[in-house]
Amino acid sequence: MEKVLEKVFRLQESGTTVRTEILGGATTFMTMAYIIVVNPAILSFAGFPAGPSTVATIVVAVFGCLLMAFYANRPIAIAPYMGENAFIAFGLSAMGVPWQQCLGAVFVSGIAFLVLTLARVRPWLTGALSASMKYSFAAGIGLFLTFIGMYQTGIVTSAAEGMPAAALLVPGMTCLRAPDVPLKVGNFHDPHVLLSIAGFVVITALMQRKVKGAMLIGMAVTACAGAVLGLGELPHKVLAVPFQGDLSLEPLALKLDVAGVMKLSFLPVLLTLFLMGFLDTLGTLVGVGSAGNMLDEQGNFPEVEKPMLVDALSCIFAGLIGTCTSGAFIESATGIREGARTGLAALVVGLLFGASLLFIPAVEPLQHLRYVYSPALMAVGLLMISSIGKVDLEDLTEAVPAYATVTLMVFTYNIANGLTAGLILYPVFKIIAGRHRELHPGSVVLAVICLVYYLFGLPH
């Protein structure tokens, strides 16, 4: 068996062993297995049925990891993206976009990834984004996820909560006015709020101690505490046969509405999903490449087209099977730090995800408890907002677009607003400063495309 694995994954050439790759793959799986619980829980707000959505999440992860293993031979795991699922659940659903069209948008953006990857345009666009802009995207999405987690758990809530409707009426009219204070602190006597805070403390404490699977363990501990307090329930069973009954993919698979998204008014949605997936993949490849000393002397990822192609095909498959944009996971860096260097580690992750299909009933109750999964959102946000320290705040031509990106994402509760505003302002401020020669042609192209969002799209 070792000879076969050596031949397929070229272990000696990469300076690794079968044992090291298995350990690295298992470590990566433990750090990202929370997606099995969190992704369906978030997508449920957009109308995705929980059981089929859980199966779709796992199947896409298996598909992507196996493809990464045998085609790209990289120790990078694939799964539905955090951030993209929030955009679908809390952005598109707020616009009244049905989940069938959300899947259509995921599929079309995946096709765009594939075409641009084969045409080698994605690497070209990569050079169009400054380091500050890349980091601002990550920081903004991190704060957005944090805000969702805090709002869902009740740590913060609307200032209108508990007020009589008459107090919010515009004088002499039947429509509501905006409250003078948009938000307020939640009810800290509510055990759900206290449990969510405790869950966040447990998760981050485990992360500080570098415990493998900190998020999954933290969610499990919080769920058990909630069950003891009578605020949740333990699983009724542990094992189940997937692809049958409540775990059938039939309600989601091939239910995408492609025709419904092929119109000009939907361009901002497609653009946003494209940019988010593009930037997530870019950030992940740079991050894991740096963690494993895989980057070349210019800081580029060798043969980057291969993992990008896997990312594109996984996104297409996600739209077909019934979940959000999928791609390379930054948690892969944990396995790489354990020594993983080849696709064998990705294969291990894929096999472990496959095995988890049998244990869906054990995690299903967690998807309905906001105090269980929301602390994981806040923990992911914590990891992402550290990127703000890498933004060049001394250079206003970099700082202003980055500032607009982060603030508009959070304060308008819409990732699209932040991404597009930042990309528009970037070339504008370079030109104002007389530094137009610093502009990459791709940044101008992106700015023009983003301008369409405000001129012809549906900003909200």
Tell whether the torsion through CA atoms of 122, 123, 128 and 133 is positive or negative.
positive
pLDDT at 458 over 60: no
- Select the more confidently predicted residue: 414 or 200: 200
pLDDT in tens, 220-234: 899 889 989 988 777
425: nearest Cα among 444, 441, 412: 444
Percent of the chain with pLDDT over 90: 41
Looking at residue 459, what is its pLDDT?
61
Q: Into how many domains does the chain fold?
A: 1
pLDDT computed for residue 333 by the predictor: 79
Please tell me the least confidently modeled range out of 138-152, 346-360, 432-446: 138-152
pLDDT for 297 equals 64
Supply 244's token pair.
């049958």
Is residue 406 over pLDDT 90?
yes
In a domain? residue 224: yes
Split at pLDDT 50, 70, 90, the class of 237 is: confident
Phi and psi dihedrals of 79, rounded to 5?
A: -165, 170
- Tell me what the mean pLDDT of segment 295-322 comes to: 85
Q: Distance from CA of residue 102 to its chain's centroid? A: 15
Q: Is the pLDDT assigned to residue 57 strictly greater than 60?
A: yes
- Better-scored residue on pLDDT, 239 or 430: 430
Q: Which residue has the higher pLDDT, 211 or 430?
A: 430
Measuring CA to CA, which residue among 130, 143, 142 is closest to residue 402?
130
Identify whether 184 is part of a domain.
no
Residue 161 domain flag: no
What pLDDT sits at residue 78?
96
Q: Which residue has the higher pLDDT, 431 or 179?
A: 431
Are 242 and 360 in contact by the 8 Å Cβ rule? The answer is yes
Model's pTM, two decimal places? 0.78
Which is higher by pLDDT, 268 or 139?
Answer: 139
Give me the mean pLDDT over the 185-214 stretch.
92
**Confidence category of residue 355, pLDDT binned at 50, 70, 90:** very high
Full residue range of the structural domain in which residue 289 is found: 7-154+190-455
Query: What's the whole-number mean pLDDT along residues 296-324?
Result: 86
Per-residue pLDDT at 206: 93
Higher pLDDT, 455 or 184: 184
d(CA 53, CA 80): 11
Q: Is residue 322 part of a domain?
A: yes
Across all residues in the chain, what is the average pLDDT? Answer: 87
Position 94 pLDDT exceeds 80 = no
For residue 366, the number of C-alpha atoms closer than 13 Å in the C-beta half-sphere is 32
378 found inside a domain? yes
**For the residues 268-290, what does the mean pLDDT come to?**
76
State residue 377's pLDDT score.
82
* Residue 298 pLDDT class (50, 70, 90 cuts): low
Domain contains 423: yes
Judged against a pLDDT cut of 80, whether residue 291 lies above it is answered with: no
In a domain, 357, yes or no: yes
Do 378 and 150 contact (CB within 8 A), yes or no?
Answer: yes
> Over the stretch 60-84, which tens digit does the pLDDT of each residue have?
999 999 999 999 999 999 999 887 8
Q: Using CB atoms within 10 A of its CB, is residue 371 exposed (0-12), middle (13-18) or buried (19+)?
A: buried
CB 53 within 8 A of CB 323: yes
Separation CA 211–CA 335 (nearest Å): 13
pLDDT tens digits along 165-194: 778 888 877 788 888 888 999 999 999 999
- When pLDDT is averaged across residues 380-402 and rounded to a whole number, the result is 90
* Whether 346 contacts 68, CB under 8 Å: yes
Q: Looking at the domain assignment, is residue 61 inside a domain? A: yes
State the number of CA atoms in the 13 A half-sphere of 416 facing the CB.
27
